[in-house]
Chain A
Amino acid sequence: MGWFSTTPFLNVPNSIQITYRKSSWWKLNQQRLTPWIFLFPGLLLFLVYVIWPIFNSLYISLLQWDGLSPAIYVGLSNYIELLDDEYFYISLMNNLKWLILFMLAVPIGLGLAIFLNQTIFGIRLIKSLFFFPFVISQVVIGIIFSWFYNPRGVIGPFLDKLGLSNYAILADENFATYGIIFAGIYPQIAYCMILYLTGLNNLNTDQIEAGRMDGAKGFSLFKNIILPQLKPATFLAIVVTVIGSLRSFDMVAIMTQGGPYGSTNVLAYYMFETALSEYGYRMGYGSAIAAVLFTIMMFYILFFIYRMYQSEKKGL
């Protein structure tokens, strides 16, 4: 028993000596290795379902492939074609419209949250009613709004009175996208509202009282005392809204299928249409669109990660 010779001077209880004996490579590196072992299943899934598909799509974007026949390597020609594709630019522009207009959900959500942040009878019920659009499926919202917009539908009679008889916004190439965004923003407002409501619950009342004593009230109180405290909620609301606008797919798919004649396409739907829809199966071209969308998202994600990193550094 080799360890006897190394420990006779220490005069410690047996149990500790045993742990000494076990101070193997594992014991020495346990602290460093344990996180990786726990991370391993997650990392494996991330590699298989996220990282590998990214590189695989980038590779497919260099091919001409219908998913059945053998693929042909065509270099960058899918990207070159993309530069000359009218529908691609329309989709890109629409993505921009989505991004800008979707941001409205943040202030509107904040307004609603403040409005609902009261203690009156039945407020819980009212709050949950306001939160309802976020709970129901996007598909349902899309279908209901297309019924709404139908000239023979709910708002038809009102439009008639406004002199817009028989006006179908979803058939108007200039305004159809706005019609879809309006439908899409409806649940997004509810989402932002709930983020702000939780934020408002955690307000520091001492600060508000101190501010009141210093004579702050009304808008100045809101701007200088409350809004800064809501910063985490604002950050989160902006993040989810940007992501929501960039992945706008379901609303377009349900309400217009990118129509009329491609005027409401967004990159995500156009990618689906070219690569996977009934008339599509241009896997290479669809992947090229995906690569562009990925690049745009990447810029945003890198900014997001940078911001998180900065604030964590401050927090430490």
Chain B
Amino acid sequence: MKKIIATLTAILAMGFSSSFAGTLVINTDLTDPAPKAAFEWAFNKFQEENPDVTIEVNNFDHEGYKQAIRNFLTTSPPDVFNWYAGNRMLPFVRAGLVEDVSDIWSDTGWVDGNLTEGMSHAKKPMTIGGKQWGIPYTYYQWGVYYRKDIFEANGISVPTTWDEFVAACATLKAAGVTPITIGSKYLWTTAGVFDYLNLRTNGYEFHMALTKGEIPYTDPRVHAVFDKWDELVKPGYFLENHASLAWQEAIPPMINGEAAMYVMGNFSVALFKEGGLTNDNLGFFQFPEITPGIPMAEEAPTDTMHIASGAKNKTDAKRFLIFLSRADVQEEMNKTLGQLPVNSGSKVDPDPFLEAGLNMLNNAYAMAQFYDRDAPAEMASEGMKGFQEYMVNPDRRDKILERLEKVRQRVYK
């Protein structure tokens, strides 16, 4: 009997504590080990600092989350959820499902008072219609990962200009090594190449105008990008059969020494190292300059945290977002994530890839989010299909660009 009473009291106590103190409901898709560990640390730390708040986490499968978010935001909104910057959040913002958090950014709702300073460089991708809709907590760089030893064996030094880059490819090809590996089965890898070619040929402003739908795909400047792409595709510098490979499946050729470079995001480093590469034979360099004098913008997809407009506990939700923006929190989380903290007050681990990335992004002219986050979903899907088709059949360029132009006129009307 005593036991039962004790249990009852415990249950009651639990019930009361969760209904009296704030319960913070967080929906996430952190099924991969590193993000999961990083967030578990963050949740514990937040709870430590705010003992009156109880965090309730609903964890979704990464792929399923993309579907689930549409349902839970409309039917049973959580307080906080994670998503992505740029155009990816636009449909939800437009449908009024995301809470405006401009006050955090303008420091009026900000306790420690230095968000504007620490994260101003990341404000643009979080802005729609002059307001901010969330906060970024991590990002990572894109660039070229390469085999140092293969470069050395063939007498190639790290290319900084387009001509050097193409010459390096030619040397590698002649030596029987596939210059660039890629797996385009899921399409998005092709967009990484396109983005960089466009950013380097025409610059950040043009790239943004294109993804915003202001420039026809049949524009001669877009053709100029494909002219550069031709120089890689036509001589066969990309991995054969890339259309049947997932991005991970394109990594073994590089580990085996059959391929030398990969235009990729920093998340690939973990897989390279799992495959046996080390800091001695795996290197990173910035995508080389194409049009001289164009300021170098980089690709840096940002992961973000938002408050649902239907949140029940907006006060604690804001506290959590502020907590997540702090330099010390981002520093610790990104150590686990193996990515870069957005807050410029945070430091990174002494890792050559992270240091290179941080150095590159801190000096970047601007940051693009990635084609499928900058362009609206419909355009991105057709565009990436087109890029893949072009990479297999470079002769169809005109037909593909005309088709993309047709899609552009429909999507942005």
B316 on the interface (CB 8 Å rule)? no
Docked complex Cα distance between A220 and B392 (Å):
52
B386 at the interface (CB under 8 A from A): yes
- Answer whether residue B91 sits at the interface, using C-beta atoms and an 8 A cutoff: yes
Whether B386 contacts A276 by the Cβ 8 Å rule is no
Asked if B243 and A171 sit within 8 Å, CB to CB, the answer is yes
Contact B94 A260 (CB under 8 A): no
The answer to whether residues A86 and B385 also contact, given A68-B91, A168-B241 and a CB cut-off of 8 A, is no
A170 and B74 alpha carbons, distance in the complex (Å): 39
Q: Is the CB of A260 within 8 A of B389?
A: yes
Pair A68/B97 contact, Cβ less than 8 Å = yes
**Do the beta carbons of B244 and A69 come within 8 Å of each other?**
no
- Which of B130-138, B264-272, B372-380 lies at the binding interface? B372-380
Report A-chain residues with C-beta under 8 Å of the C-beta of B74. 68
Chain A residues near B363 (CB-CB < 8 A): none
Shortest Cβ distance from A66 into B: residue: B91
* Chain A positions 121-159 with a Cβ under 8 Å from a chain B Cβ: 146, 149-152
Q: Mark A275-307, 1 if CB is under 8 A from B, else 0.
A: 011111110000000000000000000000000
Question: Contact string, B189-201, partner A, CB cutoff 8 A, digits 1/0?
Answer: 0000000000000
Chain A residue nearest in CB terms to B403? A86
Chain B proximity of A100: nearest CB distance (Å)? 25
A173-B378 contact given A81-B410, A260-B243, CB 8 Å threshold: no
A166 at the B interface (CB under 8 A): yes
Please give the distance in Å from A70's CB to the nearest CB on chain B: 9
B85 to chain A, nearest CB (A): 16
A68 in contact with B70 (CB, 8 Å): yes
A40 within 8 A of B: no
Chain B residues with Cβ below 8 Å from A69 are 91, 94-95
Which B residues from 24 to 83 make CB contacts under 8 A with A? 66-67, 70, 73-74
For B76-104 the 0/1 string (1 means CB < 8 A from A) is 00000000000000011011010000000
Q: How would residues 245 to 260 of chain A score, 1 for a CB under 8 Å from any chain B CB and 0 otherwise? A: 0000000000011011
At the interface, is chain B mostly helix, strand, loop or mixed?
helix
For the complex, is A222 an interface residue (Cβ under 8 Å from B)? Answer: no
CA A262 to CA B404, docked complex, whole Å: 14
> Judging by beta carbons under 8 Å apart, are B240 and A166 in contact?
yes
CB <8 Å contact, A278 and B389 = no
How many residues of A are counted as interface, with CB atoms below 8 angstroms from the partner's CB atoms? 31
Tell me, yes or no, whether A55 is within 8 Å of chain B by CB: no
Interface: B381 (CB within 8 A): yes
B242 close to A (CB within 8 Å):
yes
Q: Is the CB of A166 within 8 A of B241?
A: yes
Taking the closest CB of chain B, its distance from the CB of A222, in whole angstroms, is: 42
Does B385 contact A262, Cβ atoms closer than 8 Å?
yes
Q: Does B186 contact A (CB under 8 A)?
A: yes
By a CB distance below 8 angstroms, the chain B residues around A166 are 240-241
Q: Which of chain A's residues have a CB closer than 8 A to the CB of B245?
A: 171
- A262–B407 alpha-carbon span in the complex (Å): 15
B73, B184, B252, B377, most chain A CB atoms within 10 A: B377
CA distance A168 to B166 in the complex (A): 27
Residue in contact with B392 in the complex, picked from A150, A261, A278, CB distance below 8 Å: A261
> How long is the Cα–Cα vector from A256 to B73 in the complex, in angstroms?
31
Q: Is B187 an interface residue (CB 8 A)?
A: yes
Distance in angstroms between the alpha carbons of A68 and B69 in the assembled complex: 11
Q: Indicate whether B302 reaches chain A with its CB closer than 8 angstroms.
A: no
Q: Decide if A228 is an interface residue (CB 8 Å cutoff).
A: no
Q: Which residues of B contact A170 (CB under 8 A)?
A: 243-244
| Chain A residue nearest in CB terms to B390 | A261
Q: Does B339 contact A (CB under 8 A)?
A: no
Alpha-carbon distance A261/B92, docked complex (angstroms): 28
Q: Is A67 among interface residues, defined by CB-CB distance under 8 A?
A: yes
**What CA separation (Å) do A150 and B389 show in the bound complex?**
19
Is B212 an interface residue, CB under 8 A from the partner?
A: no
The residues in A between 158 and 201 inclusive whose CB is less than 8 angstroms from any CB of B are: 166-168, 170-171, 173
Cβ 8 A contact of A260, one of B73, B378, B392, B403: B392
Chain B residues near A278 (CB, 8 Å)? 66, 377
A259 to B240, CA, bound (A): 16
Which residues of the partner chain A approach B221 to less than 8 Å between Cβ atoms? none
Provide the B382-413 mask, 1 if CB < 8 A to any CB of A, else 0: 00011011001000000000010000001000
Is B319 in the interface zone, CB < 8 Å from A? no
Chain A residues with Cβ under 8 A from B242's Cβ?
A: 171
B185 touches A259 (CB 8 A): yes
* CB contact under 8 A between A282 and B66, given known A68-B92, A166-B241: no
Query: Residue on A with the closest CB to B67?
Result: A276
Chain B residues, CB < 8 A from A280? 377-378, 381
CA distance A90 to B92 in the complex (A): 32
**Which of chain B's residues have a CB closer than 8 A to the CB of A262?**
385
Question: CA A310 – CA B174 in complex, angstroms?
Answer: 71
Q: Which B residues fall within an 8 A CB radius of A?
A: 66-67, 70, 73-74, 91-92, 94-95, 97, 184-187, 240-245, 249, 252, 372, 377-378, 380-381, 385-386, 388-389, 392, 403, 410
Q: Shortest 7 CB-CB distances between A and B: which pairs?
A: A279-B381, A171-B244, A261-B389, A171-B243, A260-B243, A68-B95, A168-B241
7 further contact pairs, Cβ within 8 A, besides A151-B244, A167-B241: A68-B94, A81-B410, A149-B244, A276-B67, A279-B377, A281-B70, A281-B377
Can you name 5 A-B pairs with beta carbons within 8 Å?
Answer: A68-B73, A168-B241, A168-B244, A260-B244, A261-B392
